[in-house]
Structure 1
């Protein structure tokens, strides 16, 4: 069975995605800061018949990140890493003139530093994954033919390209190479690319995550790296950000899960995606800038 690590999985989008993957037979390693809600989520996931390891802890703790990856290794490997855990930096959100600097540091630590630390810890397992290659070529990539040529110089997909092709991947003058390892899904926000009043601290942290993801995609061409704007959702995070706003009309996190699963189903190329575009049928990266 494929294995995923999902941070921030006790509620919201993390919990909804965990349920979606469990319904497909994925084994899971899930984390959250609060043990009680995480254990409740894990009990529900267990009912689907998959293996679930629930590890409460803080993603800013290197020892906790190592434990998450070790648990995945015990389950057989790692095919998908989901960096979903997040903090706002100020609750409720405030203008930059009033933003506490310690809060900004916390937002950067959770939204940028911790995801990179977890990626670094997980890279050996992700590089060894063959999950996305297991589609057998039916839908191995989305978009252009990978950087591989046949004897007639016509493009043809090959899940095991020559090393020179891999080294050239991501260069400015080469078509995008699509590898066959695992995938990294970083949950971003439209606040990373739009200038919303009071969202400056959180948006800056997510913008940094976007750029970090883009560079990682170039440096690790054998992996898929997706950074996704899930759109507006009815979550505790949004309620804490803007407590006076009526979010009753906002969609539930469960409605976003099909968009994220589509990235897996189509083994989509690395890039920035908007859940709204994926749900509408578009699967090209960059749909939300």
Structure 2
């Protein structure tokens, strides 16, 4: 049975992807900060008959990252690590001249440092899998210059670079940075609360792009969900 760790799994894309994986028989270790909401996501995933461990906590905490990997080991190993947990740096987003430096530090800590820390913790299991895979959930803000998205975009650009270098250093793994595109999520509402998100696609609509990657296993690299959806159609 394949095993995945999904961070930021209580809502949005993380939850949608976790449920889709459970539907396909994956055992899961799920992370998020709010225990009650995470447990709701875990119950939804367990309804598909797979083993699901829900561990609330902060991915910035090294002890929590150790616990996530230990839980995967108890389930039999680790085949997939999805770094989806994200911090904006400011809510709502602000221009760089008003961005609190502490907020930028938080975004870098959650989106970059914690993601690398979890990879470091998980590498022995991923290497042993035979099909070890890392998915770093990126953003178009990592590649495009959007006003007010500078801190968040910089952190996601750094995550993209870490993923690219990891792919070079670990050729036995698949390492994909995936930009899911615009989505109707709580993260987006917190970032731009004045915007009407109703026209944006739900996270469930981009999950097939991630499932296509897992099924087809293309080369490591950076992908966008809209492009993958066209290929998968």
TM-score interval for Structure 1 and Structure 2 normalised by the shorter chain? over 0.9
- 2:49 equivalent in structure 1: 49
Deviation at 1:44, TM superposition (A): 1.1
User: Does residue 189 of the first structure (1) align with residue 102 of the second (2)?
Assistant: no
User: Does residue 281 of the first structure (1) align with residue 220 of the second (2)?
Assistant: no
Gap runs ≥5 in structure 1: 131-180, 283-289
User: Does residue 211 of the first structure (1) align with residue 161 of the second (2)?
Assistant: yes
| CA deviation vs aligned residue, 1:80-108 (integer Å, no higher than 9, x gap) | 00000001000000000000000000000
| Aligned ranges 1:130-169 → 2 under 5 Å | 130=130
CA distance in 1, matches of 2:38, 2:214: 25
| CA deviation vs aligned residue, 1:225-264 (integer Å, no higher than 9, x gap) | 0000000000000000000000100000000100001001
CA distance in 1, matches of 2:46, 2:214: 22
The structure with the largest alpha-carbon Rg is 1
User: Does residue 111 of the first structure (1) align with residue 111 of the second (2)?
Assistant: yes
| CA deviation vs aligned residue, 1:167-196 (integer Å, no higher than 9, x gap) | xxxxxxxxxxxxxx3100000000001000
- 1:38 equivalent in structure 2: 38
- 1:2 equivalent in structure 2: 2
User: Does residue 222 of the first structure (1) align with residue 166 of the second (2)?
Assistant: no
2:10 counterpart SS class = coil
TM-score normalised by length of structure 1: 0.80
2:29 counterpart SS class = strand
CA distance in 2, matches of 1:30, 1:269: 26
CA distance in 2, matches of 1:31, 1:205: 20
1:281 counterpart SS class = helix
CA distance in 2, matches of 1:34, 1:49: 24
Which residue, 261, 269, 275 being the options, matches 2:211?
Answer: 261
2:223 counterpart SS class = strand
- 1:156 equivalent in structure 2: none
Greater helix percent: which structure?
Answer: 2
- 1:93 equivalent in structure 2: 93
CA distance in 2, matches of 1:231, 1:93: 18
CA distance in 1, matches of 2:205, 2:226: 10
TM-score normalised by length of structure 2: 0.99
CA distance in 2, matches of 1:128, 1:269: 19
- 1:16 equivalent in structure 2: 16
- 2:187 equivalent in structure 1: 237
| CA deviation vs aligned residue, 1:99-151 (integer Å, no higher than 9, x gap) | 00000000000000000000000000000002xxxxxxxxxxxxxxxxxxxxx
CA distance in 1, matches of 2:29, 2:218: 23
CA distance in 1, matches of 2:44, 2:136: 24
Gap runs ≥5 in structure 2: none
CA distance in 1, matches of 2:218, 2:127: 17
Aligned length: 233
Deviation at 1:46, TM superposition (A): 1.0
